[in-house]
Structure 1
Amino acid sequence: MTLDRWLSRIPLESPSVFVKLIPTLVGFVIALGLSLIPGVVADHIPLFVGFSVTVMVGAVLLATLVPWTRFGAGWSVIVPLVAMMSIGLMRIGTGGSTSSIGVILLLPFVWIATEEGRRNIVIAALGIFLVLLGPIVVAHTPTSPADLIRAFFSPVIYAIVAAVVNEIAHRSRAQLAATRAAAQQREELLEQAVRTQDELVLNEARLKTANRLIQSIWNAVTEQSVIGTDLDGVIDVWNPGAEKMLGLTEKQVLGANRKVIEFHLVSELEDRLRDMDARFTTVAGMDDFSALVDTVRAGYADVRDWTYVRADGKQVPVQVAATPRLDENGHRVGFIFVATDMTQAREFARLKDEFVGLISHELRTPLSSILGYLELMRDDDESPLSAEQLQYLGVAERNAHRLLRLVGDLLFTAQVESGRFPIDITDAELRSVVAASIETATPVAATAGVALVSDVPDEPVEVRGDTVRLGQAVDNLVSNALKFTPAGGTVTVSLRRDGDEAVVAVTDTGIGIPAVELSQLSQRFFRASTATRNAVPGVGLGLTITKAIVTAHGGRLDIASEEGVGTSFSLRLPLETPRPVAEAVPGAETTA
C-alpha cells in the first residue's frame, strides 16, 4: 500500500485515538533512539527507560484495542495521560530535570488541551505537574531550589497555555461546525434549487399544455359570444363566437376602446333602467352599463334576454349570462357576458305559439261539448243516475273543467305572445277583486293548513281595468303562495295606496325562490328549482299570465324572495286611467 493511499484512509475530520497518538509515539521512538546512542545521554538509568517503553506500549494497546467510541468523548484523554507518564519515566531515566527528552511532553499536553471541555485544562496542567515532580521525588541527590521552583512554576505556565490552546480549539471547532452547517445548508439549498428548477420546467410544460388546451377550447366556442370587460364596460376579451355573432374581429374591437353597451339597443337599456327605478340620462356611460351589471354588482349572476346590434345594423336576439371576473385575491376586476343566439329559439317559440293557439281552439269545442253532455246526463229526470254514477260523473266534470282552464291558459299565453289578447277596460274596484280571491282560496288554505290573512282598507280603491283579468292575476298570485307555503305558514293578501298607484301584495312564508332565478319567473313554462325540488304541482304559466295582465293595465309586477324565508309579489296599478299596452279586442271572449 502506498503512502498516499495509507494517508487517505486516515479520518482527518474525526481522527481516532490511535491517530492522535501517532505524533507522540513518533517523538517517543526518536527520543528512545537518541537515549541508546552512547554519549548522548549523560545519566542513563536503563530501568526507568524500560518502564517507559512498557508504559508506552500499554498506551498503544489502549489506543488500538479499547472501543473508545462506545464511551464518552472525555474518557479518551486516558491515552495521552498514559503516554505522558511514559515520557515522564523516560525523562527520569535520561537525566531527570536536566533531560532534553522532556520537550516531547508538549505533544500529549497539546492533545489533552485541545479536547472539548474546560476540565481538560486542569487535566493537562496536573499531568505536567506530576511528570515534572517525578525526578524530584526519585532523585538520589539533593534537589536545588531552582528545580523546586521550576517543578511548581512550570505547571502554572502550562495551565495558562492549556487554557489558551483549549479556547482556540473550542473556537476552531465552533467555526468548523458553523462552516459545515453552512456547507450543508448550501448543499440543501442547491438540492432544493435543483428540485425547484425541475418543478418549474415541469410546471412550465404543464402550463403550455393547459394554455394550448384553453386556446383550443376558446377557438372552438363559435356558437356563443363571450365578451369580457373591465369595471367600466370597456371590452378587453373578444372570442371567435363574438366575431361571428357581431361581425367584428378581435383587433377591430380591442384596439378601439369600445364598450359593450355599443352593441345593445338603447331602448332596451332604457327600459331596464326604468325597471330598476334608476334615473335615466342621455349620457352614455355608467348609467347605461348599470342596466347590464346591476344584478352582478349585487353579487348574483344575471341571465336575461337582450338584443345585440351587429356591425352591419342587423339585430340579433340573444340570451346573455352576466357574471363577475375575479382576480387571484377574489376581487372583482370586470365582467363576462356569454351570449347565445336566440333567433332559432324565437322562431321555434313562434311556431309553438301558433301550434298551441291552434290546438287550444280545437280542444275548446270538444271539451265544451263533453261538459254539455255531462250536464244533460246529470239533469235527466227520466233516467236518474245512481249515487255511484253521480260520483263518477262529478270526477269527469272536474277533470273536464280543469282541462278547459288549462286550454284557456294556453290560448291566453299564445295571445300574449302575439301582442293581442282580450281585455275589457271599465271602472274596477280592487277591494271586491281581492276579497273574491281570498274567499275562493280560503277552503284551499284550510285544507293545506296555511293561515290566509286579509289586509284590505275600508275605503274603496278604484282603477281603470278589466275586473275579470285583474281577478285572474290576483287568483294566480294567491294560488301560487298557497302551493309554495308549507303547513303552519302564513299567506298575507294586502291592498293599499302608494302615491298614484294601487298595490296588491301577496306575501308568504314559503320555500322561496333562488335569487338567480327571479328574472326568469315570467317565462312560459319556467319553474323555480325550489318548486321542482319540492315536487310542487304546476305547469309554469300562472306568473306569465299575471305579468301580461299587469303590463296590459300599464302596471308592473315586483318580486322579492329569499330562499327558505318566503316570497312577496306586488301588483302595482296606476290609479289614473292607463293606456293599455296590449290592444283590447272589443267583444272578444274572455278566457278564465
Structure 2
Amino acid sequence: MTIDRWLKRISIESPSPMLKQVPTIAGFALALIIMLLPFQPTVADIPSFVTGIVLIAVASVLAAALPWQRIGTEWTLIVPVLSLVAVGFFRLGTGGSASPFGVLILLPFVWIASEEGRLNVLIAALGVFLVLLAPLLLSDQPTSVAEWVRAFFSPLIYLIVAGVINEIAHRVRQQLAAAQGAAEQRKALLDDAVRASDELALNEARLKTANRLIQSIWNAVTEQSVIGTDLDGLIDVWNPGAEKMLGLTSEQVLDGTHHMVDFHLISELEERLRDMDARLTTVSSAEDFSALVDAVRSGYADVRDWTYVRPDGKHVPVQVAATPRLDENGHRVGFIFVATDMTKAREFARLKDEFVGLISHELRTPLSSILGYLELMRDDEDDPLSAEQLQYLGVAERNAHRLLKLVGDLLFTAQVESGRFPLAIKQVELDTVIAASVDTSRPIAANAGVSLVAEVPERPTVIPGDPVRIGQSIDNLVSNAVKFTPAGGTVTVSLRTEPEEAVITVTDTGIGIPAVELGQLSTRFFRASTATRNAVPGVGLGLTITKAIVTAHGGRLDIASEEGVGTSISLHLPLQAAALEMESASIEMRD
C-alpha cells in the first residue's frame, strides 16, 4: 500500500471519542482482572470503588452514544475529564495514595494533554492534581510530609509532561496536515499532468490532421505560384505551382541563394522604382526588391502585373498578389507572393479585342449606309415626308448616330488595347477645342436643367497634339459631367497654364463617385455604383478612351471625387512636343 493511501487514512482531526476512550476502558478492564487474582489488592472503600466503575462506564457510553460531530468536538473533553474523576474514585477505593492502580491516571491525562490548545495543558495538570490530592483530603489516617510533597510535586511534573505532549501533538498535526496537503498537491499535479498529456496527445493528433490537410491543399495548388521570402527577399517557400510555372524544384531553389528578383524582368523592376521615386536615374540591384514590396511594407496588400523569367529565358506574364508574412506575434518576418499565369487570359483578351475591332469595323459600313439612306429620305423633294414621318425619321437617325458613336468607341478601345492607334499631330488651340465641346453639350445640359460654364483665359493656349482626339476626350468628360449632375447643378470647364503643361479641368456638382472605386474608373466597361444606382445610361468607355488619348499625348489624368458632392477630372497635357512627332503618326501605347 502506498504512502498516499496511508496518509488518506489518517485524519488530521482528532479520532472519535470512543476510539480515544478504548485505552482507558482496557486499563480499567485489566485492573479488574488483576483484582480477581489470588494476591489481588483489597477494596478499601467499596462506594468509591463502585463509583469509579460506574463513572468509567458512563464516560464510555457517552463516548460511544453521543453525536459529537453535531454537538461540537470541543465538548469531547467531557469524556476524558469524567474518566479522570473515575480513576480518582477507583484509586480511593483500592487503597488511596497506596493504590497500585494510580498509573491509570495517565490514560485520560494523555488524551486531554494531546488535544489542540494550550488550555488543555492546564486542564490535564489540574485534573491530575485533584486526583492525587483527593486521597489526602478524604483520608482519616495521618499523612506524612512526603505524601504531601508528592501530591503537590507530581502535578508540576505532569504539567511539564502535558506541555510536551501538547506541543508534540501540535507538531504532529502540522506535519500530517503538510503531508496530506503535499499528497493532495501531488495528486492534483498528477491529475493535471494526465489531463495535459491527454490534451497534448489530442492536439498532436489534430496537428497531424491539420498538417496533412494543409499539405494536401499545398500540393493541390498547382495553377498558382506561391513563393515565400524573408525580409530581404531570399526565397524559403516554394510550392508545386511555382515548380510548374518556373521550371525549378523546391530542392533546387531552397538552398539559401535564390532571391525573388532573380525571377523578375529587371526592366520592369527599374521602371517601378522610377515610378516610386521620379528622381532616380539609375537603379542598383540592392533596391530591386523594394519594387516588389514597397506597398506591402507600408501595410497594404499589393496586386500588380509582372513578368516572371524562367531559367530557360521564357517570359511568363503573371498577376502577383504580395502580402506580408507574419509570425505568431503578428510581426512581419517576410513576404508571400501568389502569382497567377496570365498568358491565357491575355491571349483571350487579345482575341476579344480583335473580335470587338472586327465586329465594330463590320458594323460601321451598314450603319453609314443606313444613315445615308435616312438622309436621302428626309431630303427627297419629289416625295416629301409628312411631319409625323419626319419625326419618326429623326428618332431613327439619332439612334443610328448613337450606335455609330458606340461602334467608333469600341473600335478605338480595340486599337488602344492592341498598343497602337493613330494620332494626327498639329498645333491645337485648346480654348477653341473647349468652346466647341461646350457648345456641343449646351443643348443637352439645358434640357437636363444643368448650367454649363466655360472658364478659359483670354490669351490662347496652344499645344502640340491631335485636335480631334483632344476634343473627343473633352467631349467625353463634359458629357459624363452633365449626365451625372442632377437638375439645378453646374458643370464648369476650365483651362489654366502651368510652367510645363496645360490643365483642362471639368468639375461638376453631381452625384460623385465612392473613393474605393476611383482606381477602376479608367477600366473598360466599368461603371461606378452611383451611376448604376441612379440608372444613368452609359457603357463605361468614356474615361478609358480619355485616359488613352491623354497618355498618348504624354500627359496624365487626375480624378478627384466625393460621393454626393461632385467630381473633378483634370487633363494634364504637355506644352512641348518632346515625345510627339509633328505629323501623322502611330503612337505606341503602354498603360
TM normalised by structure 2 equals: 0.83
Give the Cα–Cα distance (whole angstroms) in 1 for the partners of residues 231 and 361 of structure 2: 51
Q: Does 1:361 find its partner at 2:361?
A: yes
- 1:3 — aligned with what? none
Q: How does 1:365-444 map to 2 (within 5 A)?
A: 365-372=365-372, 382-386=384-388, 396-430=396-430
Gaps of 5+ in 2: 1-5, 587-591
Asked whether the 8 Å contact 2:425–2:585 carries over to 1, the reply is no
Letter in 1 for 2:516: P
The one-letter amino acid paired with 1:66 is: L
Counterpart in 2 of 1:182?
A: 182
Using the TM superposition, give the Cα deviation of residue 355 of structure 1 relative to its aligned residue in structure 2, in angstroms: 0.7
- Which residue does the alignment assign to 1:191? 191
1: CA distance between counterparts of 2:187 and 2:204?
25
Contact 1:553 1:578 (8 Å CA) reproduced: no
Secondary structure at 2:300's aligned position in 1? Answer: coil
Cα distance in 2 between the residues matched to 1:101 and 1:184: 45
1:143 and 1:489 map into 2 onto residues whose CA distance is 134
- Following superposition of structure 1 onto structure 2, how do residues 412-561 of structure 1 map, counting pairs within 5 Å? 412-430=412-430, 461-476=461-476, 496-497=496-497, 499-504=499-504, 510-514=512-516, 518=519, 522-526=522-526, 538-557=538-557
- Contact kept? 1:270, 1:280, Cα under 8 Å: no
Seen in structure 2, the aligned counterparts of structure 1 residues 432 and 98 have a Cα distance that, compared at 3 Å, is: farther
Partner residue, 1:332? 332
- Tell me the residue number matched to 1:590: none
Paired with 1:468 and 1:501, the residues of 2 have a C-alpha distance of 19
Alignment correspondent of 2:93: 93
1:231 paired to 2:231 = yes
Q: Distance in 2 between matches of 1:173 and 1:486?
A: 94
Deviates more, 1:528-537 or 1:248-257: 528-537
How far apart, in 2, do the equivalents of 1:439 and 1:157 lie? Answer: 130
Contact kept in structure 1, 2:512 and 2:530, CA below 8 Å: no
Correspondence for 2:576: 576
Residues 296-305 or 464-473, more deviating: 464-473
Q: What RMSD in Å do the two structures reach over aligned CA positions?
A: 4.0
Structure 2 distance, partners of 1:115, 1:289, is 83
Change (3 A) 1:205 1:256: same
Task: Say whether the 8 Å CA contact 1:423–1:585 is kept in structure 2.
Answer: yes
Give the match for residue 222 of structure 2: 222
CA–CA distance in 1 between the matches of 2:257 and 2:565? 44
In structure 1, list runs of 5 or more residues that go unmatched.
1-7, 587-592
Could you report, residue by residue, the CA deviation over 1:527-559 in whole angstroms, capped at 9, with x for unpaired residues? Answer: 678877898765443343233212211123456
The letter for the 1-side match of 2:52 is S
Measured in 2, the distance between the counterparts of 1:390 and 1:162 equals 135
Offset, 1:98:
3.8
In structure 2, C-alpha distance between the alignment counterparts of 1:259 and 1:564, rounded to whole Å = 48
1:415: Cα distance to partner?
0.6
C-alpha distance in 2, partners of 1:191/1:456?
A: 87
Q: Distance in 2 between matches of 1:181 and 1:487?
A: 87
Deviations 1:417-448 (A, max 9, x none): 22222322223344565676677778988999
**1:300 is paired with a residue of what secondary structure?**
coil
**Number of residue pairs the alignment of both structures matches:** 574
Do the aligned partners of residues 148 and 315 (structure 1) sit closer, same or farther apart at CA in structure 2, a change above 3 Å counting?
same
Q: Which has the larger displacement, 157-166 or 84-93?
A: 157-166
- Distance change (3 Å), C-alpha of 1:215 and 1:284: farther
What residue number does 1:56 align with? 56
Distance 1:487 1:100 in 2: 129
State whether residues 462 and 575 of structure 1, in contact with CA within 8 Å, keep that contact through their aligned partners in structure 2. Answer: yes
> Aligned equivalents of 2:447 and 2:27: distance in 1?
117
Aligned pair in 2 of structure 1 residues 460, 207: CA closer, same or farther (>3 Å)? farther
Change in Cα spacing, 1:138 to 1:488, as seen in structure 2 (3 Å) is: farther
Output the CA distance in 1 between the equivalents of 2:97 and 2:453: 125
CA 110–301 in structure 1, closer or farther in 2 if over 3 Å, else same:
same
Q: Distance in 2 between the 1:101 and 1:452 partners?
A: 132
Which residue does 1:128 correspond to in 2? 128
Q: Matched residues in 1 for 2:259 and 2:18: separation?
A: 88
Instruction: Say which SS state the counterpart of residue 330 (structure 2) adopts.
Output: coil
Query: Which residue is equivalent to 1:47?
Result: 47
**Cα separation, partners in 2 of 1:580 and 1:476, compared to 1, 3 Å:** same
Distance 1:369 1:226, change over 3 A: same
- Report the CA distance between 1:358 and its aligned residue: 1.0
Shift of 1:290: 1.8
Inter-partner Cα distance in structure 2 for 1:255 and 1:128:
93
Query: Which residue of structure 2 lines up, in the alignment, with residue 317 of structure 1?
Result: 317
Give the deviation of 1:112 after TM superposition.
2.2
Offset at residue 379 of structure 1 (A) = 6.6
* Alpha-carbon distance in structure 2 between the residues aligned to 1:352 and 1:401: 24
2:454·2:493 contact (CA, 8 Å) conserved in 1?
yes
- When residues 392 and 112 of structure 1 are mapped into structure 2, their CA distance, relative to the original with a 3 A threshold, is farther
Q: Which moved more, 1:35-44 or 1:52-61?
A: 35-44
Once the two structures are TM-superposed, the CA of residue 220 in structure 1 deviates from its matched residue by: 2.1
**Matching residue of 2:346:** 346
DSSP-derived class of the 1:227 partner: strand
SS in 1 for 2:572: strand
Residue 106 (structure 2) aligns with: 106
Decide whether the 8 Å contact of 1:24 with 1:107 is kept in 2: yes
Are residues 46 and 460 of structure 1, via their aligned partners in 2, closer, same or farther at CA, if it must alter by over 3 Å?
A: farther
- Residue by residue over 1:125-173, the C-alpha shift from the partner in whole angstroms, topping out at 9 and shown as x without a partner, is 4433443343344333455565556555654554454344333323332
Question: Structure 1: which amino acid aligns with 2:234?
Answer: V
Find the aligned partners of 1:152 and 1:536 in 2 and give their Cα distance. 121
Q: Is the Cα contact below 8 Å between 2:43 and 2:95 reproduced in 1?
A: yes
